[in-house]
Amino acid sequence: VEASIPEPQRAAWKKFQATPFVTKEDFEKEVVRHVETTLARSMFNCDETAAYAAASLAFRDRLITEWNRTQQRQTFADTKRVYYLSLEFLMGRAFDNAMLNVGLKNVAKEGLSELGFRIEDIISQEHDAALGNGGLGRLAACFLDSMASLNYPAWGYGLRYRYGIFKQEIVDGYQVEVPDYWLDFNPWEFPRHDIVVDIQFYGGVRKYQDEHGRNIAKWEGGEMVKAVAYDVPIPGYDTPSTNNMRLWSSKAASGEFDFQKFNSGDYESSVADQQRAETISAVLYPNDNLDRGKELRLKQQYFWVAASLYDIVRRFKKSKRAWSEFPDQVAIQLNDTHPTLATVELQRILIDLEGLEWDEAWTIVTKTFGYTNHTVLPEALEKWSVPLMQNLLPRHLQIIYEINMYFLQSVERKFPGDREMLGRVSIIEESQPKMVRMAYLAIVGSHKVNGVAELHSDLIKTTIFKDFVKIFGPDKFTNVTNGITPRRWLHQANPRLSELIASKTGGLGFLKDLNILNELEKFADDKEFKKEWAEIKYANKVRLAKHIKTTTGVTVNPSALFDIQVKRIHEYKRQQMNIFGVIHRYLTIKAMTAEERKKLAPRVSIFGGKAAPGYWMAKTIIHLINNVGAKVNNDPDIGDLLKVIFLEDYNVSKAEIITPASDVSEHISTAGTEASGTSNMKFVLNGGLIIGTCDGANIEITREIGENNIFLFGNLAEDVEDLRHAHNYGSHTLDPDLLKVFETIKSGTFGDAGAFSALTSAIEDHGDYYLVSDDFHSYIQTQALVDEAYKNQDEWITKTILSVARMGFFSSDRCINEYAEMIWNVEPLAPEKGETDGLGK
């Protein structure tokens, strides 16, 4: 490629090529240049917002230079790439992460200080990029960080929502949703107005034979929308590799607006087309673990996968390879079933547009895709109504029927005469209306299916996908236990702990090989080390206490035991059990003598998390937590012994303050319901212990850190079905302590009792599906063990050090290496030795 450019021009380009800053002086120069030119301001009116903008732009310029080099390197090497398709990327803030990953935070800190700013104030100017609901979206963000840090040639593909997850406000104890307009100023994205893809919807299919007698299906008519690419650079840690996250934004295909309508006075409908098109990428659906089957959501899914596949296929076609080599060049991972239409779209491209035979095309499709399942909850398993799909994507529905036909034929061959099996595994559910079962389609269209923790991967094989294991054999199903990036969740969120660990393990190497944390074991009884360790935890608690004071007005004592449950509010995650436990504690304290009270460790129960706007039960839980807080926090008889806090608007940047401050965090889902959980890993990595059920990754955490270092309680997954059955068909005696809690709620102690009747009657009258009563006693007892254990601070600290030392397994780098080896078959492409990253490395 280079040879096609004449030497003198090449020399000129090389001479003037962008050179990323390295020194403090060059950084300051860049900041001032952006303030004075890009932002048209000066030192006289450069506030913190402007300083954030300019400093971010300086880093963005730096990243984009490396981004370009990385893309060139990958194109020249022509190796296999991974494409991670996720409808959610919960990135949080980018500035601090960029500074740390490129290793120039100190340079920026000093530079900003010379220009009159404190780096913490500048970092806090940034609005979170909140294009996700919870664990699934944050996992995708951690994976992007790991893929870049490990030098994998990988792209993320998603949607550029104008509104991310809503902002949560608490008004009179109730959740109120406020739109999150986050794109006002976003220095981290590059609009690519030259990368535009036409996306078709609706219309019909014309079938005919061409002049060679071949059957042709042509998707015609309907409406067109444009997908415009926006690129976000993803810097790797301690490597020049900078990957790409490409987000698609929708735009009307037909120019700005209809001038004819406009001129004839029909102002409103003159912009209607444009608005309708832009609606597609306007808003993130705010449901976590819930499928609602709305047409606009299906539109979003197709819009995104069609644009992404067009892009991927275009890139492949440039290499002029044979189609059969497509799976050698391309691995596509489906993050949940949301992008499953991509399998159908690739088949359509290959047979309708590229003229391949069905079988040849389908082999390519199945070799290309891998599918990650994140849930067994029936309400979260996606299904699309056949009539809806018929209308929106008529050709795709035909292809799905054909995929299903061939699949069922193969099942019939393997299990002749088993009609029930055919009905069970059919991609089309014979209901009214008929439904497309997206998980089944994803399994049939992929070569590997993985769950996200061992228990979960076992459960999918023995429950929801049992028949498919018989059909495809067990090797198609595997496990990749989730992980988290230690860069954000240790180094960035807990800089002092990171520093202390570095000082004992020979530097920051543990951020790239988290197993190095093992070296901390030898300090678990080191007095001096333990003192520093405890001081850091205390400082992190002071930081959270300040945040609590400014956001809620409540003063909490940083020496109290901080007990934290932050995650989406969901009945299966059982925040209701936690708050019932808090009420039980309140009643117990009230009944205690002064002597007994003296022995009790003061506790601060901290909650945070959003409820889906239409999830009434979850909103009721938030309401109860706030009302309990209002009562308990103002009860002079209780004082510091118990405080109850609900932190508004839990998001990634708040998690960075909350996570390092826990003594105990709660991961208490009904066994068998939480696929993995990832905040459990974050809390332990930051020196907190956990109280949890035998569910999701809690089980592997226990195996790694040792059962003496975790507070486990409750029934096991294998017993859940029988217990539920007994609730409904046998006698169901509720836990007496829980009944006392219910009496207190019903007496109006926490405000209008009627407001909370749904919560109590779910347990008393409706079968207690989530086994709150069954687990309550063991929960309360285990909380008492926590109280006891916390009194012995010396032992407690040892436990936390040993736990951190044994958390190496939970790095998302380990996950990505497993995906790369087991599922994607891709190799890292490290920059060559001597290749500059601007740091001269």
Question: Can you give the binding site for ligand RUG, defined by CB under 6 A?
Answer: 134-136, 139, 288-289, 336, 374-375, 380, 452, 482, 674-678, 696
Q: Which of 93, 160, 568, 603 is catalytic?
A: 568
Ramachandran assignment for 625, one of left (phi > 0), alpha (psi -120 to 50 degrees), beta (any other): alpha
Cis bond upstream, residue 433 (ω within 30): yes
Q: Which is nearer to ligand RUG, 55 or 685 (CB)?
A: 685
Q: Which is nearer to ligand RUG, 249 or 680 (CB)?
A: 680
Smallest distance, ligand RUG to C-beta of residue 652, A: 14
Q: Which is nearer to ligand RUG, 444 or 815 (CB)?
A: 815
Q: Which is nearer to ligand RUG, 136 or 577 (CB)?
A: 136
Return d(Cα 514, Cα 810) in angstroms, integer.
8
R_g of the chain, CA atoms, integer Å: 28
> Quick check: is 568 catalytic?
yes
> Quick check: is 127 catalytic?
no
Q: Which of 337, 343, 670, 678 is catalytic?
A: 678
Is beta strand 603-608 parallel, antiparallel or unpaired with respect to 642-647? parallel
Return d(Cα 612, Cα 376) in angstroms, integer.
19
Which single residue brings its beta carbon nearest to ligand RUG? 135
CA distances from 548 to 44, 328, 536, 642, 645 (A): 34, 52, 18, 15, 8
Question: Are the C-beta atoms of 180 and 167 separated by less than 8 Å?
Answer: yes
Q: Which is nearer to ligand RUG, 111 or 135 (CB)?
A: 135
> Quick check: is 574 catalytic?
no
Return d(Cα 521, Cα 801) in angstroms, integer.
7
Task: Indicate the helix (H) or strand (E) that contains 566.
Answer: strand 561-566
Cβ burial of 830 (10 Å; 0-12, 13-18, 19+) is: middle
Q: Which of 81, 573, 585, 799 is catalytic?
A: 573
The 10 Å Cβ neighbour count of residue 333 is 25
Smallest distance, ligand RUG to C-beta of residue 481, A: 10
Q: Which is nearer to ligand RUG, 558 or 677 (CB)?
A: 677
Smallest distance, ligand RUG to C-beta of residue 337, A: 8
> Quick check: is 374 catalytic?
yes
Question: What are the residues whose beta carbons fall under 8 Å from the beta carbon of 586, sequence distance 6 or more?
Answer: 628, 631, 632, 635, 638, 642
Smallest distance, ligand RUG to C-beta of residue 446, A: 16
> Quick check: is 682 catalytic?
yes
Smallest distance, ligand RUG to C-beta of residue 374, A: 3
Return d(Cα 103, Cα 379) in angstroms, integer.
44
Is beta strand 242-252 parallel, antiparallel or unpaired with respect to 223-235? antiparallel
> Quick check: is 573 catalytic?
yes
Smallest distance, ligand RUG to C-beta of residue 452, A: 4
Question: Are the C-beta atoms of 84 and 371 separated by less than 8 Å?
Answer: no
Q: Which is nearer to ligand RUG, 337 or 760 (CB)?
A: 337
CA distances from 73 to 78, 363, 512, 837 (A): 8, 30, 22, 13
Q: Which of 105, 226, 338, 374 is catalytic?
A: 374
Ramachandran assignment for 761, one of left (phi > 0), alpha (psi -120 to 50 degrees), beta (any other): alpha
Smallest distance, ligand RUG to C-beta of residue 674, A: 5
Q: Which is nearer to ligand RUG, 129 or 545 (CB)?
A: 129
Question: Are the C-beta atoms of 133 and 288 separated by less than 8 Å?
Answer: yes
**429: three-class secondary structure by DSSP:** strand
Q: Which of 246, 682, 799, 814 is catalytic?
A: 682
Smallest distance, ligand RUG to C-beta of residue 679, A: 8
Smallest distance, ligand RUG to C-beta of residue 620, A: 21
Return d(Cα 31, Cα 25) in angstroms, integer.
10
Q: Which is nearer to ligand RUG, 288 or 813 (CB)?
A: 288
Q: Which of 138, 348, 491, 567 is catalytic?
A: 567
Q: Tell me the catalytic residues.
A: 374, 567-568, 573, 678, 682
